[in-house]
């Protein structure tokens, strides 16, 4: 005696896609099981713009200018998996925020939707100089 009962009144498709007219072990499978895993990744240029805006909200504690316009950010790389690598420097190696600034950047940039892991590399070559400050920041500091 079989405990299996057939509940489907419509015939199922075979692997070849033909309708056999009788129940089969092959049922068409919806693709929604991939939903969330195949979501489109954000455009890298748009993501980079959002990263820059976030960096413009972080200020050097000694100079009233954000770290991006101050010229402390040397490079922003975004990998295929949206892994972000930021190369930056500080105004001096003895800067009091040398320990905390990279961590703050990792935390803030990591909160941007679409960003994967964030890595901040502190570099000293080339050394930071006043020539790296944007014109807007120079105007703000009264240097123009």
pLDDT exceeds 70 at position 39? no
CATH code of the domain made up of 44-141:
3.30.300.130
pLDDT exceeds 60 at position 33? no
pLDDT exceeds 80 at position 30? no
Which pLDDT tens digit goes with each residue over 63-99? 889 999 999 999 999 998 899 999 999 988 888 888 8
DSSP lists the bridge partners of residue 84 as 78, 118
Which pLDDT tens digit goes with each residue over 91-132? 888 888 888 999 999 999 999 999 999 999 999 999 999 999
pLDDT exceeds 80 at position 15? no
């Amino acid at each position: 005696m079989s405990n299996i009962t057939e509940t489907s009144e419509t015939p199922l498709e075979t692997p070849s896609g033909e309708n056999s007219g009788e129940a089969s072990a092959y049922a068409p499978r919806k693709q929604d099981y991939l939903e969330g895993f195949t979501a489109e990744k954000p455009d890298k240029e748009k993501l980079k713009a959002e990263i820059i805006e976030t960096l413009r909200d972080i200020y050097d504690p000694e100079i009233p200018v954000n770290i991006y316009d101050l010229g402390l950010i040397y490079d922003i790389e975004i990998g295929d998996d949206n892994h972000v690598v930021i190369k930056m420097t500080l105004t001096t190696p003895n800067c009091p925020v040398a320990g905390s600034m990279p961590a703050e950047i990792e935390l803030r940039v990591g909160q941007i939707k679409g960003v994967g892991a964030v890595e901040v590399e502190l570099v000293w070559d080339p050394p930071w100089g006043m020539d790296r400050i944007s014109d807007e920041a120079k105007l703000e500091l009264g240097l123009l």
